A and B are shown apart, each in its own frame.
Chain A
Amino acid sequence: MIMPKKHNRFWQPGLSIQGKWHHRSYTIKRELGSGAIGSVYLCSVNGKDVALKISDNTSSMMMEVNVLKSLSKVQGHSLGPSLLDVDDWIAPDGNAYSFYAMEYIHGEKLPIFIKKNGSVWLGVFMLQLLDDLEHLHQAGWVFGDLKTENLLVELQPPRIRWVDVGGTTKIGRAIKEYTEFYDRGFWNLGTRRAEPSYDLFAFVMIFISIYHPRKFDKGKYPKATILKKIDDIKALTLYRHCLKKAILGKYQTSAEMKQDVRTILYNERRKDKRVNSESSMLPFIVELISIGLVSGGFYISSLFIPF
């Protein structure tokens, strides 16, 4: 593990952070998570909940803000949390911190949701994610650090959302941030250049990681290792073919992959119907026979009843 830089301990619930420029004041409720650049806290401002990311790494924070701003320009589609405020905070010890406030997305972690509600939801989330990725790619961006930890399932209605878009990179550039397990470069299966296919690789790893929460080593033959894992996960049998295609970089766009997943789901639904209509005959026949038997029995027994 990477040794974390010494963290400041004054981030306690109840602490009030006031912006230097816009003077809004935020009260920390609890920590939501922390990463390589800064920590995210649940805060309240004027009685509303927001997620606040704060860090002493001003430059990286500004880059993230730039990404959030450009994502908000992707119209008619909420990609990632919406940005509410950007400001600085001068701590009591005199150090300056940068922070930004964003929409607080409340939901369940993807693996937990699937565990509770079953693998029927896999196809739904695949389509939702591929749809979002398609919009993102069309706007000229690649998500980069796409991983299970950066996703949440909003409930009622269940909708998968991105919570951390810090790794988002312009298409054609070097991926800004990544996590080894989800990175095709790490698996010797491609470059680290921002292309739609980079995200599609990570997309597949998300669905594998649901069934391998502790991840796995790449072994001597990384490609074979992944393909075998896909084969071994029963819940993914249906999607096996297109997941493998994405791992091998055979989809140029998320639209192509979405089309394949949709076809699979459509065929499955039709098959379901057919199976249902056959199986629904069975109880009917059983019922007919048993009615016949019962009435026959009554008839025979009635012959023995003396008058």
Chain B
Amino acid sequence: MKTGTLKQILLITDGCSNQGEDPVAVAALAKEQGITVNVIGILDETQSEEAVGLQEVEGIAMSGGGISQLVYKEALPQTVQMVTKQAMTQTLQGFVNTELQQILGPTQTMEDLAPEQRGEIMEVVEDLGETCDLEVLVLIDMSASMTNKLPMVKEALFDLSISLNARIGRNRFSMYTFPGKRKEINKIFNWSPKLDKISQVFPKLTSGGITPTGPALREAIYQFSKKSLFRSFQKDDHAEEA
């Protein structure tokens, strides 16, 4: 069986958006186009889970069909890989559920099955998660307050690539930061199977208080669609060679 490619945007931020369109609405748009949006909200030592501004984090992930998690910066590496993997399982399970409903009728979901059958289905989901290809666009909030968190972000992304590259399926990563100088987002790292060059390219901070999360997300979605267009050409080329 040929498995497809899962597309994810991983948004790493520490505050609420304050410019441009509503990121929750843009995330819904991403989901429409088959892109899952996961959000990691980084807490300051003094902040608690109920911190103002970080509530948006859950909203974006929910409407983007993804997973959100608030963490202190020390827990970033473990969290980033966990969120990415859980979101993959969730997406795949969504596919499987849709298929099931086509077979069993619209009211049947996995929860309606006896544990034995559910177990067998989860085995399929797990196999898919291990073998499918994955594309992750990492989108990092570079507003001034992120300064002391960036070393941990760097480590977390490096760690993510260790985790994902242990899978059988292929991975591709790209990295963007926002706000960009003249554009919404800045390309830091083009699509590549590994993130280990990350330390060389990790960008300098842009100061200034603006956090245009919505426009940045929209631009990220655009990068995905641009890429798939380009890729479909590439695929055709390969097909001809073969």
Q: Which residues of A contact B (CB under 8 A)?
A: 1-3, 21, 36, 58-60, 62-63, 65-66, 69, 86-88, 96, 98, 172-175, 180, 185-186, 191-194
Contact of A87 among B69, B90, B115, B126 (CB under 8 A): B115
Q: Is the CB of A191 within 8 A of B89?
A: no
Q: Is the CB of B115 within 8 A of A66?
A: no
CB-CB < 8 A to B130: which residues of A? Answer: 173-174
Contact of B168 among A63, A86, A172 (CB under 8 A): A172
Q: Which residues of B contact A (CB under 8 A)?
A: 43, 49, 69-72, 74-75, 77-79, 82, 89-90, 93, 110-111, 114-116, 118-119, 121-123, 125-126, 130, 159, 162-168
CB-CB < 8 A to B74: which residues of A? Answer: 1
Q: Is the CB of B119 within 8 A of A174?
A: no
10 CB contacts below 8 A, A to B, read A2-B75, A2-B78, A69-B119, A87-B115, A88-B111, A88-B115, A173-B167, A175-B166, A180-B77, A185-B163
Q: What is the chain B residue whose CB lies nearest that of A19?
A: B115
Distance in Å from the Cβ of A26 to the closest Cβ of chain B?
Answer: 15
Q: Is the CB of A62 within 8 A of B122?
A: yes
Distance in Å from the Cβ of A175 to the closest Cβ of chain B?
Answer: 6
CA distance A3 to B77 in the complex (A): 14
CA distance A186 to B166 in the complex (A): 13
CB-CB < 8 A to B90: which residues of A? Answer: 59
CB-CB < 8 A to B116: which residues of A? Answer: 86
CA distance A1 to B79 in the complex (A): 9
> Contacts A173-B168, A191-B162 known; A66 to B75 CB distance under 8 Å?
no
Distance in Å from the Cβ of B79 to the closest Cβ of chain A?
Answer: 6
Distance in Å from the Cβ of B5 to the closest Cβ of chain A?
Answer: 17
Q: Is the CB of A3 within 8 A of B70?
A: yes
CA distance A180 to B100 in the complex (A): 37
CA distance A169 to B90 in the complex (A): 19
> Contacts A1-B72, A1-B74, A174-B163 known; A62 to B49 CB distance under 8 Å?
no
